[in-house]
Structure 1
């Protein structure tokens, strides 16, 4: 299978001398209807990729789409490592990935990274043994076991005194849990691109030789229940469901021969920024400020127009700041630094509805726009809210443990505006 690597928002030429051939483009076109809007944007003998990263797979092609970060090294290995680190921050990859020494550089294809991560989770769970369940079984055996089924035994073995028809409970790994897991592994061994990844999956499959082969369906995996004895397996099956919904054709794309695991980069950026702020607020801010993601939800009118800010910062019941993450590039030469009017209007609406005086639009840093505070606008409304423009280093966010530069300065301004009693209490706790 042909394997290609592109960057988000990159243009891909189509034709005999292009990046992909016309038959390969037709395969992507068949998949397009099942993808989120904006992933593939078609032009004349070309297509432009949208702000999504991950994996697209057709019969002819395996395409990985990596982030385009115009700040620092942009090699495929570094960008792959960055994307994996960002995904790991959201919990979509196993916790081992977050602290892995080689995380900053990933040489394998993203599809293999996802598959190997899943296999790693399975191997860890298998250290405590495969899931075994008792089932009721009736069998004609040569020694009594469980309960003798006397009437049936007399009919079955009337002329055979060497066997006994018994009903008994048997503990077996051949159960719906392992059947579903084996089915997912069989799919992954066919999808893996590198021989080493296929070998990893095959080695795990050998542990399930006694398990009946069956077809994997997402709804079957979702229906499995986990008691306290097998609770440690629940994250493994959650990941299996995630992979099934993204990679298995019959689940997401009907009869189309293709699959996808894609991440909306703006949503991913917003999520890891919010999670990092939540973590820092809980560990170093002494509870003075709380961080909420996608909440509180309010309506702009009595009957609708729901508003859901990316990140809100609260001091008690008061909303003291609202942040929105934008996976776009700032242009410092422009009069508004590249901030769109629509984004400014949206933030002004937030300020009014949430009675909040401090707002921020947060962008990725670039070569032309270094990390930190870029500029601020005082919005010309009665409340005169301040809209701050901030650029942050994506690597610092993905690999670091502190508040990114720029956002840190905003937090300091918020803390400076807290009542003196709150600040004094924080100083006593050593958190300011």
Structure 2
């Protein structure tokens, strides 16, 4: 259970929080994060001398009585908490990780709700939408002594029970009920979300939704219980809801196998999220394109860099590949890093450049590109164009994306539209 006194901190990804200072964590609070760490994604929390530094993850972390809301760090001059929260929520919506539309609607800058509440309201919205088609129901066999015939008469039992009572009939009948394992799991998850909500309004929203399950028994449930639920033709449409429920439940109670962990972990890897964001924007740019022989491949097509006697080795999977039939035309790789105009090669990691050179060679692609978020020191657009010193002399381009503009519905920059021409 959550403690009554909760400290709520809002930080940026990769920020550090000191230990043992008035504006940081106490020793006891730091110890709570240490207990939670085995259940966290690798690289999300890093220990430094008298400090904890967070990795490239955004979302909600809670250890003991400290809740940390981690927001994206863009440094584009619009770095208010509301703006950063709105940007993250927009990216999550675009990539399908959030669907709720009333959690701080209107503009990116108006996102006032804590991220945890946004996740909770998103789940409520998904469940509410599914309930419009009816709750999951099952028919259960009942046998009961009734004063009117229902179903079929069980003669043997009727004679035993009612030989001197002509006002009753012992019947067997099927009764439709929503009190089943699926709805018990949903009720348990919603109850957990209500107790975890930050705002009174969010708790009220969950409470209202819970009334749909008034006739459902409340039992404790774990992510394993949800994984064991059986779906059929009638319930398959609910499967994504239960996958989301398991994610939320696992985040609220990270790993019971590790002992008495009092924490929450609902995090998104920003590197993976940026990759997914890029894929969606490229697909949107070419939806309905007249050049319909183009296809867009995410995380592929898979090739291998080498072979040995034992088989292929060193798998390659570009983030986004644009193909004209079987010919690779462009390759984009997303990098959730900050470009530095003062650094050699704008701070582009040599390993990232090597990776794109390998892609260009192995996929026989004439144009490859690294895509970065823009910032106040590196405006959006083409940053640099290199001619790679490898056979065929393919082009490596470095671009900066205005993530905020794209997340607000802006189009993909023209320079990044797939094109056969180089």
Give me the whole-angstrom Cα distance separating, in 2, the residues matched to 1:95 and 1:24: 33
* 1:243-392 pair list within 5 angstroms: 243-250=248-255, 255-302=260-307, 303-392=312-401
Contact 2:298 2:320 (8 Å CA) reproduced: yes
Give me the whole-angstrom Cα distance separating, in 2, the residues matched to 1:114 and 1:28: 22
Corresponding position: 1:176 with 2:185: no
Give the 3-state SS of the residue equivalent to 2:86 in structure 1: helix
Give me the whole-angstrom Cα distance separating, in 2, the residues matched to 1:253 and 1:187: 20
* 1:17-416 pair list within 5 angstroms: 17-94=22-99, 96=101, 100-158=105-163, 160-224=165-229, 233-250=238-255, 255-302=260-307, 303-403=312-412, 405=413, 408-411=414-417, 414-416=419-421
Give 1:284 deviation, angstroms: 3.4
Considering fraction of residues, name the structure with more helix: 1
Give me the whole-angstrom Cα distance separating, in 1, the residues matched to 2:43 and 2:159: 71
Question: Closer, same or farther in 2 for the Cα pair 1:93/1:77, shift >3 Å?
Answer: same
Give me the whole-angstrom Cα distance separating, in 2, the residues matched to 1:341 and 1:236: 42
Give me the whole-angstrom Cα distance separating, in 2, the residues matched to 1:23 and 1:73: 35
Question: Closer, same or farther in 2 for the Cα pair 1:102/1:35, shift >3 Å?
Answer: same
Give the 3-state SS of the residue equivalent to 2:201 in structure 1: helix
Give 1:230 deviation, angstroms: 5.2
Contact 1:187 1:248 (8 Å CA) reproduced: no
Match in the other structure for 1:6: 11
Give 1:16 deviation, angstroms: 4.2
Give me the whole-angstrom Cα distance separating, in 2, the residues matched to 1:96 and 1:226: 28
Contact 2:60 2:70 (8 Å CA) reproduced: yes
Unaligned regions of 5+ residues in structure 1, if any? 418-432
Give the 3-state SS of the residue equivalent to 2:417 in structure 1: helix
Match in the other structure for 1:429: none
Give me the whole-angstrom Cα distance separating, in 2, the residues matched to 1:65 and 1:22: 21
Question: Closer, same or farther in 2 for the Cα pair 1:255/1:98, shift >3 Å?
Answer: closer
Contact 2:282 2:417 (8 Å CA) reproduced: no
When structure 1 is superposed on structure 2, of 110-119 and 215-224 the one drifting more is 215-224
Q: What per-residue deviation string (whole Å, max 9, x for no partner) do you get for residues 95-130 of structure 1?
A: 636994245421111001110111122223333433
Give me the whole-angstrom Cα distance separating, in 2, the residues matched to 1:254 and 1:321: 49
Give me the whole-angstrom Cα distance separating, in 2, the residues matched to 1:318 and 1:165: 74
Q: What per-residue deviation string (whole Å, max 9, x for no partner) do you get for residues 47-104 of structure 1?
A: 1111110011122111110001111311101111110110111111116369942454
Give 1:195 deviation, angstroms: 1.5
Q: CA RMSD in A?
A: 2.2
Give me the whole-angstrom Cα distance separating, in 2, the residues matched to 1:167 and 1:288: 62
Contact 1:34 1:252 (8 Å CA) reproduced: no
Contact 1:266 1:326 (8 Å CA) reproduced: yes
Give me the whole-angstrom Cα distance separating, in 1, the residues matched to 2:70 and 2:237: 33
Give me the whole-angstrom Cα distance separating, in 2, the residues matched to 1:383 and 1:98: 51
Give 1:238 deviation, angstroms: 3.4
Q: What per-residue deviation string (whole Å, max 9, x for no partner) do you get for residues 252-301 of structure 1?
A: 86642212111111110110111110122223354142211101111111
Contact 2:100 2:122 (8 Å CA) reproduced: no
Give me the whole-angstrom Cα distance separating, in 1, the residues matched to 2:290 and 2:274: 23
Q: What per-residue deviation string (whole Å, max 9, x for no partner) do you get for residues 127-170 of structure 1?
A: 34333221211223232211122222333445555433221000
Give the 3-state SS of the residue equivalent to 1:416 in structure 2: coil
Give me the whole-angstrom Cα distance separating, in 2, the residues matched to 1:312 and 1:318: 10
Question: Closer, same or farther in 2 for the Cα pair 1:257/1:149, shift >3 Å?
Answer: same
Give me the whole-angstrom Cα distance separating, in 2, the residues matched to 1:386 and 1:253: 50
Give the 3-state SS of the residue equivalent to 1:283 in structure 2: coil
Give the 3-state SS of the residue equivalent to 1:215 in structure 2: coil
